[in-house]
Structure 1
Amino acid sequence: MLAMTDINTIRNLRNNHDQSIESIRKSLNINWRTAKKYADKDFVPKIKLHKRSGMMYEEKWGDIVSLWLTEDFKLPRKKRRTNKQFFNDLIESGFPGSYRTVCNFVQEWKATHTDKGEVKDLGYERLEHPAGEAQLDFGTMEVEKDGSFVDIKILVMTFPFSNRAFGIALPAENQECLLEGIKQILKQINGVPTVIRIDNMSTAVVRSKTRYEKARLTKEFQSFALHYGFKVQTCNPRSGYEKGSVENKVGYVRYNFFSTSPKLISFENLNQRLADKLKKDSQRVHYEKKKKISDLWQEEQTSFL
């Protein structure tokens, strides 16, 4: 069997570069049948999965601690929180479990992550993100409105090169809100990214990408992209890691900026508060590049359209 990196190369040449089986065979110097097998058939390595159970996996607590751990791993070791600090912070949020439960979860999390807090290699290579490219995704956030707790949507755009993020709270996840949310973000950044990567959201994608055909966008979203001039990249099916930056940031915003559900006075008010918090957050040092996110952001803005 080929190494996973070789298999990924074959699938990348076939799916993203439209190369023929014969062309792949020649460029990689492999058997035609081998090239055909991995290029045109689903291949998923057999991995024994152990179902996780308990409050840390079935309720929100595990997600919260995972986000805290991810952020802490970007800091020097001496500044990272201890298991006891994680436990105390959870207690303040109403956590009903024990200290041992938290310790067990942290131990399991660390076993599946690298020293940088990244998920250990599962057979795909880390994506590179040039300056000026963005990722986009919706998330859900709870707010207090008229004495009741309701869910609203938050559209988050991240720029992996600098790790800068922007978010817009919206009443729904329909196409009208998607386009309006992007407009507001583009106004905030005073520019247009060269590429926006999205998942196969029905508000923008009519048909997902396949081995043989590119994704087909809705007419409205395609016209919107042409108007502003940015290119659209859609994730491959079942490939959420391709936009991991924005998925992590959606959770980061939800759990770190509002410790309790914020009051929804108006969407304008909430979005201003969100913008202020994200701008303040950009004063952090990038976990890998050792520069302030705000400084990297200034550099990245020169790559906009």
Structure 2
Amino acid sequence: MGMLAKIRRMHLRDGLSIREISRRTGLSRNTVKQWLRREGETEPKYPKRTQTSVLDAWAEHLESALRTDLHRPVRERRTAKALFEQIRALGFAGSYPRVVVWVRRWREQQANAPRRAAFVPMSFELGDAFQFDWSCEYLFVGGLRRRLEVAHTKLASSRAFWLTAYPTQSHEMLFDAHARAFAAFGGVPRRGIYDNMKTAVDKVGVGKLRSVNIRFQAMCSHYLFEPEFCNPASGWEKGIVEKNVQDRRRQVWREAAERRWPDFASLNEWLAQRCRQCWEENHHPEWPALTVAEVWQDEQARLMPCPKPFNGYVEHQVRVSATGLIHFQRNRYSVPTRHVNAILSLRVYPAHVELVAEGVQVARHARSFERDLTFYDWQHYIELVETKPGALRNGAPFKTMPEALQTLQRHLLRHPGGDRVMTQVLAAVPVHGLDAVLVAADLALEAGRPSAEHVLNVLARLKDGQIAPVETSTPSLKEEPRADVQRYDRLRETRP
């Protein structure tokens, strides 16, 4: 359009001839004449010159691969280098820079392409709703690089958020994440907004119809909030917590990745402190003059009271093996041997597992997320070794006994029948308690020649209060005795 206006000014205003205009502009005279005749026309656009490239035959293959990668996680998408190696193995004879330029242009075209989706800005009242989502992160925990499932709970109005890291996304983790978040927020909002995660929704129906998981529904009933679920593949309906995932990766997880964490407990403790720091540092997007912490204080007054934490365990029915073990997630946990071959209730919590028989807890172990490990409680096998004392010498559970009992066992097993003597000592643990037996074992070892009778005697005296549990002080004399050799001579004197 600029050239057409210039030609019109030169001919109509300055009075130059068509030959002179052609000489100055470099356009042919026929072109100048044609443009001057059509006053309402715009400047013509000529088609770009097409150039053939060795990459044209592979353009369809590359585009198909790039479109496929759009549906993959960002970490799993192929780079231009990987695509070049792939098509070169299929017979591509071009160079790597050509592929890089082509991939860059294709991605720029996709980024600049018009988006049809439009969204309505959302606004929430104080205390009205919270949004929940999971994210996947990687950190060094316990000396290994592990995949973490992080629970994000965010108040939709004040933007206060809470992060908790777990090894998995199972039900017990979900329930624990809600309990921690509500305790940190100081109350419970009236609604909770979720996507259609499997721990909450058993089946997605038409429209907003959902078949909600029974345990998840029990948790919602406990905290008195109403769950709402987004449409499938519509993450923007909970965009506040979706944005929180990206913001925390830039703010919190970058710091966490620079450190090494001994366990999940220390990591979650640091996350709790870091979340509160972010509340003080971040300004509210709708009220920039206020921080998130200041708006949260106003919202806290409008939240429902927070009840006691929901007992969010997951229950399984397990059978006890002949060795007094139950199997769960490729690990084994011990149970008192009187329950061998019985079916018990296994209650799984985020940090521990409990075994219940007829409503009574019979065993408790710290939960492990490793594989192919066995966790013993040696006291579960005391009743069994009373009838099978020979198993005490090489029994795997008894290798976890306290050091005092292991030392006593080594002394007793040196003599014939020492295994039976040791079972008498172990049989006293359920009766007198472990602490009392340990004190008696220490006193017996100090005597130099320990025996079961000695230990049981000390236990009886401890129970009657005749001796102190541990005596370490040495008595001192106020007046030391004097040596008097004349006393002997006086005794030899005969009496008249």
TM-score, structure 2 as length reference: 0.38
Which runs of no fewer than 5 residues in structure 2 stay unpaired? 1-65, 78-102, 305-496
- For residues 183 and 272 of structure 1, do their structure 2 counterparts lie closer, same or farther at Cα, with a shift above 3 Å needed? same
CA distance in 2 between counterparts of 1:300 and 1:195 reads 14
Sequence identity of aligned pairs in percent? 24
Moved more, 285-294 or 233-242: 285-294
Question: What is the Cα deviation at residue 253 of structure 1?
Answer: 1.9
CA distance in 2 between counterparts of 1:301 and 1:106 reads 45
Q: Which residue of 2 aligns with 1:250?
A: 245
Question: Partner amino acid for 1:218?
Answer: N
CA distance in 2 between counterparts of 1:234 and 1:149 reads 33
The reply on whether 1:266 has 2:252 as its aligned counterpart is no
Question: What is the Cα deviation at residue 214 of structure 1?
Answer: 2.1
Q: Are the equivalent residues in 2 in contact too, given 1:209–1:234 (CA < 8 A)?
A: no
- For residues 208 and 126 of structure 1, do their structure 2 counterparts lie closer, same or farther at Cα, with a shift above 3 Å needed? farther
Question: What is the Cα deviation at residue 243 of structure 1?
Answer: 0.6
For residues 157-172 of structure 1, what are the structure 2 equivalents within 5 Å? 157-172=153-168
Q: Are the equivalent residues in 2 in contact too, given 1:127–1:242 (CA < 8 A)?
A: no
CA distance in 2 between counterparts of 1:240 and 1:129 reads 17
Greater RCO structure (CA 8 Å; 6+ sep): 1
CA distance in 2 between counterparts of 1:240 and 1:297 reads 25
- For residues 148 and 228 of structure 1, do their structure 2 counterparts lie closer, same or farther at Cα, with a shift above 3 Å needed? same
Give the CA RMSD over aligned residues.
3.3
Q: Which residue of 1 aligns with 2:131?
A: 135
Q: Which residue of 2 aligns with 1:197?
A: 193
Question: What is the Cα deviation at residue 53 of structure 1?
Answer: 9.8
The reply on whether 1:281 has 2:307 as its aligned counterpart is no
Question: What is the Cα deviation at residue 163 of structure 1?
Answer: 1.4
CA distance in 1 between counterparts of 2:240 and 2:210 reads 21
The list of structure 1 runs, each at least 4 consecutive aligned residues, that deviate by more than 4 angstroms after superposition, is: 51-54, 57-60, 105-109
Question: Partner amino acid for 2:126?
Answer: A
Q: Are the equivalent residues in 1 in contact too, given 2:194–2:228 (CA < 8 A)?
A: yes
Q: Which residue of 1 aligns with 2:144?
A: 148
Question: What is the Cα deviation at residue 130 of structure 1?
Answer: 2.2
Which entry has the higher C-alpha Rg, 1 or 2?
2
- For residues 209 and 167 of structure 1, do their structure 2 counterparts lie closer, same or farther at Cα, with a shift above 3 Å needed? farther
CA distance in 2 between counterparts of 1:253 and 1:106 reads 27
CA distance in 1 between counterparts of 2:130 and 2:138 reads 25
Q: Which residue of 1 aligns with 2:301?
A: 302
1:77-114 CA-partner distances (Å, limit 9, x unpaired): xxxxxxxxxxxxxxxxxxxxxxxx99xx99997x799x
The reply on whether 1:292 has 2:322 as its aligned counterpart is no
Q: Are the equivalent residues in 2 in contact too, given 1:207–1:216 (CA < 8 A)?
A: yes
- For residues 121 and 151 of structure 1, do their structure 2 counterparts lie closer, same or farther at Cα, with a shift above 3 Å needed? same
Q: Which residue of 2 aligns with 1:45?
A: none
Q: Are the equivalent residues in 2 in contact too, given 1:209–1:237 (CA < 8 A)?
A: no
Question: Partner amino acid for 1:164?
Answer: A
CA distance in 2 between counterparts of 1:249 and 1:227 reads 27
Question: Partner amino acid for 2:155?
Answer: F
1:35-55 CA-partner distances (Å, limit 9, x unpaired): xxxxxxxxxxxxxxxx6799x
Question: What is the Cα deviation at residue 269 of structure 1?
Answer: 1.3
CA distance in 2 between counterparts of 1:127 and 1:174 reads 30
TM-score, structure 1 as length reference: 0.60
SS of 1:259's partner is helix
- For residues 121 and 188 of structure 1, do their structure 2 counterparts lie closer, same or farther at Cα, with a shift above 3 Å needed? farther
Q: Are the equivalent residues in 2 in contact too, given 1:157–1:166 (CA < 8 A)?
A: yes
Q: Are the equivalent residues in 2 in contact too, given 1:186–1:192 (CA < 8 A)?
A: yes
Q: Are the equivalent residues in 2 in contact too, given 1:153–1:169 (CA < 8 A)?
A: yes
Q: Which residue of 1 aligns with 2:119?
A: 124
Question: Partner amino acid for 2:230?
Answer: C
Question: What is the Cα deviation at residue 216 of structure 1?
Answer: 2.0
SS of 2:149's partner is strand
CA distance in 1 between counterparts of 2:157 and 2:265 reads 28
CA distance in 2 between counterparts of 1:228 and 1:147 reads 37
For residues 61-140 of structure 1, what are the structure 2 equivalents within 5 Å? 122-132=117-127, 133-140=129-136
The reply on whether 1:222 has 2:217 as its aligned counterpart is yes
Q: Decide which of 234, 244, 247 is 1:239's aligned counterpart.
A: 234
